[in-house]
A and B are shown apart, each in its own frame.
Chain A
Amino acid sequence: MTTTTTATTVTTGTPGSRRVDPAAAVARTTPRSSLQEAWVQTLSMAWRALKKMRRKPEQFFDVLIQPLLFTAMFAFIFGGAISGSVSNYLPILIPGILAQTALTVCMATGVQLREDMDKGVFDRFKSLPIARIAPLAGPMIADLIRYGIASVLTVVTALIIGYRPGGGVLGCIGGVALTIIAGWSLAWIFTWLGTMARSAQSVQGISMMIMFPLTFLSNAFVPAKTLPGWLEAFVKVNPVSHVVSAVRDLFNDGAVTAEVGWAVVGCAVVVVVFAPLAVRSYSRKM
């Protein structure tokens, strides 16, 4: 147990020259970070991530290019084949692209965390008395900006090529908000992978293997009805499908449907399961 000697120390002079008193230092320690401390620590880590983003703008490449490129490309290539015309396809496509973009951004979260963790500064983070969740959650808060940019850009591109969402402004805001929530929640899976994998490349590889089936074996780009039965069954349970349907309902009808509810519940479940897993794996890795 802690043996705290009740030492009476004479602290005179300026704070810089006062002597270090071990007994007092021991008495000041706390067994863990309080919630409020953890929050300040997380925000500090978010500040660090934002500083890094500002200094490395090339990190924004994916969130800038993908929305522009994929939206236009998919619309003009598949529009006629799937829905008869580009304008008919847009209401189906745009929510799908949003989901795909969110997943891509998530992937980057895991890869960047892994890269970051290999740096010397993570040794210091681990040696500091900070909540173990802060180094993981901090960058994820900063990433909200990336999700925001990516989704807004997608919607703007869609509007330019002729998409007129039936849900109106509120529907769009709701759809974008849901995309951001979903992206942020799913990012915990990739953060967990980031803490487990051996290298950034392996995170990238594993993430690709997860992302491609999840987005393409969903209703993101084609109506599920057109698929063979066994595939349709998988597509229906794919969580991405639920998010896509929910975003569609918001964008096209401005309706908060049961799908929206399921999507939010699904996101919550992902966070509840994967956030603790990520923190545990991170704490063990030391």
Chain B
Amino acid sequence: MADLSAVRADGLVKNFGDFRAVDGIDLHVRQGEIFGVLGPNGAGKTTTLRMLATLLPIDGGRAEIFGVDVRREPHRIRQLVGVTGQYASVDEDLTARENLWLFARLQGVTSARAKSIAGDLLERFGLQEAANRPLSQFSGGMRRRLDLASSLITRPPLIFLDEPTTGLDPRTRGQMWDTIRELVTDGSTILLTTQYLDEADQLADRIAVIDRGRKVAEDTPDALKTQVGESTLQLRLAEGADTALGADVVRRLLGEEPVLSPESGRMNIPLPDPDRAADVLIALRQAGLGISSVSVAKPTLDEVFLALTGHGADVESQMEAAR
């Protein structure tokens, strides 16, 4: 029977002393997709990933990767999963080439083959020129690339990326995203964690939103956004003083309560149906209110997060401290 799941985790639990870092999380990642685990710092994303990667014992629940039980057969799991951590797990005392050679040798690749794999990966990740330099001279982005390259030596079918772009500049981040998309084209499955809503939106086919050790939602980025509601019509009136009047018009027309900021003349109007944007504009014109700018926005994942958890994505601190 063909089981097309890459990861199937049910009720994962992890306790650190009295603190329950992961509190019954279910994850179901299909083969060949990019699955994003989204949540603020300390939500339990990394802990979940580390349990699945056999780096932390699983305290409760069960997990299978390509049908292999994570708890019972950790050695098999390690052959199926490439892990790229939040902090580059490469050897600072070796050069990039030596790092790759060592990791290949450790996985049973012959010395000559290890050399050629190292060469290929260095080229693919644009690191040839720095190949023989000590890692202390590497930038954060180069380190990340080397780290990811190290995870790909045996071309594992499942790749865990723990916050792959945290701390990278926008250009390097874009390159990392391209690389990640390429991996999926090669047939790999990717489970990535991120605290960047934008990143999950850009990359992931499906997203699980995690908050305080629990999964609060799981869906495609678009479905999650629709679940939260609707699009928003963002208006700026020519006269800031007119906002109260404008709000009356909107209320009468849509029965919705707009969010106002009179100082700047801005009105954010929830739109149950984007089609009604034109009605609003016409009604405002008929009421004699001038408009200086208009846009229709889908909800951001930030708003999604707020709606799902009742608090913003940056409310985090105490969890992080407890770890």
Q: Which residues of chain B come closer than 8 Å to A122, judged between CB atoms?
A: 89
Q: Which residues of chain A come closer than 8 Å to B92, judged between CB atoms?
A: 119, 121
CA distance A112 to B161 in the complex (A): 29
A5 within 8 A of B: yes
Identify which of B93, B105, B107 gathers the most chain A CB atoms within 10 Å of its CB. B93
A56 within 8 A of B: yes
The B contact surface, by secondary structure, is loop
CA distance A190 to B68 in the complex (A): 36
Q: Which residues of chain A come closer than 8 Å to B228, judged between CB atoms?
A: none
In residues 168-210 of chain A, which contact B (Cβ within 8 Å)? none
Identify which of B3, B105, B189 gathers the most chain A CB atoms within 10 Å of its CB. B105
CA distance A246 to B264 in the complex (A): 90
A25 near B102: Cβ-Cβ < 8 Å: no
Select one of A1, A22, A55, A56 contacting B158, CB under 8 A: A22
In residues 91-116 of chain B, which contact A (Cβ within 8 Å)? 91-94, 98, 102-103, 105-108
B188 near A20: Cβ-Cβ < 8 Å: yes
B314 within 8 A of A: no
B66 near A22: Cβ-Cβ < 8 Å: yes
In the complex, the chain A residue whose C-beta lies closest to that of B143 is A120
Q: Which residues of chain B come closer than 8 Å to A19, judged between CB atoms?
A: 186-187
Tell me the minimal C-beta distance from A49 to chain B in angstroms: 10
Question: Please, how many residues of chain A have a CB less than 8 angstroms from a CB on the other chain?
Answer: 47
B54 near A44: Cβ-Cβ < 8 Å: no
B120 near A16: Cβ-Cβ < 8 Å: yes
B252 within 8 A of A: no
Q: Which residues of chain A come closer than 8 Å to B75, judged between CB atoms?
A: 29-33, 129
B189 near A22: Cβ-Cβ < 8 Å: yes
B79 within 8 A of A: yes
CA distance A122 to B55 in the complex (A): 11
Interface mask (B45-62 → A, CB under 8 Å = 1, otherwise 0)? 000000001111100000
Select one of B67, B103, B120, B189 contacting A124, CB under 8 A: B103
B89 near A123: Cβ-Cβ < 8 Å: yes
B79 near A20: Cβ-Cβ < 8 Å: no
Select one of A16, A29, A51, A55 contacting B79, CB under 8 A: A29
B193 within 8 A of A: no
In the complex, the chain B residue whose C-beta lies closest to that of A24 is B157
Q: How large is the interface on B (under 10, 10 to 19, 20 to 34, 35 or more residues)?
A: 35 or more
A286 within 8 A of B: yes
Stretch at the interface among B80-88, B203-211, B288-296: B80-88
A124 near B83: Cβ-Cβ < 8 Å: yes
In the complex, the chain B residue whose C-beta lies closest to that of A138 is B106
The A contact surface, by secondary structure, is helix
Tell me the minimal C-beta distance from B1 to chain A in angstroms: 7
Provided the pairs A31-B73, A124-B90 are in contact, do residues A129 and B187 lie with their beta carbons within 8 angstroms?
no
A130 within 8 A of B: yes
In residues 114-131 of chain A, which contact B (Cβ within 8 Å)? 119-130
In the complex, the chain B residue whose C-beta lies closest to that of A119 is B92
Q: Which residues of chain A come closer than 8 Å to B120, judged between CB atoms?
A: 16
Select one of A16, A37, A55 contacting B93, CB under 8 A: A55
Q: Which residues of chain B come closer than 8 Å to A130, judged between CB atoms?
A: 78, 106-107
B78 near A129: Cβ-Cβ < 8 Å: yes
A286 near B157: Cβ-Cβ < 8 Å: no
A40 within 8 A of B: yes
A62 within 8 A of B: no
B56 near A286: Cβ-Cβ < 8 Å: yes
Q: Which residues of chain A come closer than 8 Å to B81, judged between CB atoms?
A: 127
In the complex, the chain B residue whose C-beta lies closest to that of A42 is B106
B150 near A26: Cβ-Cβ < 8 Å: no
CA distance A125 to B53 in the complex (A): 12
19 A-B contacts (beta carbon < 8 Å): A1-B67, A2-B68, A22-B6, A22-B80, A25-B156, A29-B75, A40-B108, A41-B105, A44-B105, A51-B94, A56-B93, A120-B88, A120-B90, A124-B90, A126-B54, A126-B55, A128-B106, A128-B107, A129-B75
Which residue numbers of B lie inside 8 Å of A, CB to CB? 1-3, 6, 31, 53-57, 66-68, 73, 75-76, 78-81, 83, 85, 87-94, 98, 102-103, 105-108, 120, 150, 155-158, 186-189
Which residue numbers of A lie inside 8 Å of B, CB to CB? 1-5, 7, 16-17, 19-23, 25-26, 28-33, 37, 40-41, 44-45, 47-48, 51-52, 55-56, 119-130, 134, 284, 286
Q: Which 8 A-B pairs have CB atoms at the shortest separation, nearest pair first? A: A129-B78, A19-B187, A22-B157, A20-B187, A124-B89, A3-B67, A29-B76, A123-B89
